[in-house]
A and B are shown apart, each in its own frame.
Chain A
């Protein structure tokens, strides 16, 4: 990871935000079924002001994850989110590719 890569790397961004004293949540794709836009292990990091970096889908469910992240930051309780076409939430936020993903969302620290 060189400096250029670092600026795009969600986990490096999370560490920088943490060092700046910002409260951070980390979302991680832990399981996928069917055609999912981002592979298992992909990260989206979110701060308490709703700034975010990285991705867990092709932009389809990030909005929902960012909203949930505020709850996780406040409560300090990690949670598992699931998105997919079979799910009513997913119909709203929409994984248009027809896949299904599970996203683990946790607070940093």
Chain B
């Protein structure tokens, strides 16, 4: 393995960009291919398919054998709202293998005491998301049900192609949200992607149960997304 390839691979992974590490099993030469890099011919098609499916494997192309190792960024969850549900969700997400951050400008909610050991930012989403942009490997969970706080990150998440966008609130609350987003010029098809009321319908009642329903819905969105993309 070429040391430059290893450095490039690790740098891309740290930057949360999808990459394929390509090794010619015949001569041992390798290269790093980013999602945006165009590779022509049948090998390019195999690389595109690997990005879509997220599955690593050996491919035979024009008499040569290549190993494609796909590195997709680990999925993460950005929660808007340092509420009771978020406390439970933070603990569960960690067990399920998601990185999780919580953003809430209300300093009474966003306290270290309530969220020990959690990546917590007591600032407006408008400012935080500029520094830490959302991406296709991020789930956005908006649970303040305050439009002043939730609406901006929801819009930003839909524009960034987040694999999951969920928003807390009753059907009535959500209907008003949809009206506001339409009024702000958002595309109706994009708005349809918002999962609301948030969480799988398991009859969740307590904050911890709602957190389970949300996490299950996030996992479903992530796993099914790969199947959908693979079929596309």
Contact = CB atoms under 8 A, between A and B. Distances in A.
Interface string A93-109: 00000000000101111
A44 to B, nearest CB: 13
Contacts of A80: 25
A40 interface: yes
A11 B25 contact: no
A106 B58 contact: no
Interface string B1-41: 11100110110011000000001010010000000000000
Contacts of A107: 1
B28 A106 contact: yes
B67 A30 contact: yes
A80 B1 CA distance: 14
A1 B6 contact: no
A15 interface: yes
B1 A40 contact: no
B52 to A, nearest CB: 16
Nearest to A106: B1
B23 A12 contact: no
Interface in A65-109: 78, 80, 104, 106-109
A39 B70 CA distance: 12
Chain B facing A: main interface SS: mixed
Contact of A11 (B9, B23, B28, B67): B9
Interface residues of A, number: 22
Contact-residue bracket for chain B = 20 to 34
26 contacts: A1-B14, A5-B74, A11-B6, A11-B9, A11-B10, A11-B13, A14-B6, A15-B7, A18-B6, A28-B23, A30-B56, A30-B58, A30-B67, A31-B57, A31-B58, A40-B56, A40-B57, A40-B69, A41-B56, A41-B71, A78-B28, A104-B25, A104-B67, A108-B3, A109-B2, A109-B3
Interface of A: 1-2, 5, 11-12, 14-15, 18, 26, 28, 30-31, 39-41, 78, 80, 104, 106-109
Given A15-B6, A18-B3, A109-B2, 18 more contacts: A1-B13, A5-B74, A11-B9, A11-B10, A12-B10, A18-B6, A30-B25, A30-B67, A39-B56, A40-B69, A41-B70, A41-B71, A78-B28, A104-B25, A106-B28, A108-B1, A108-B3, A109-B1
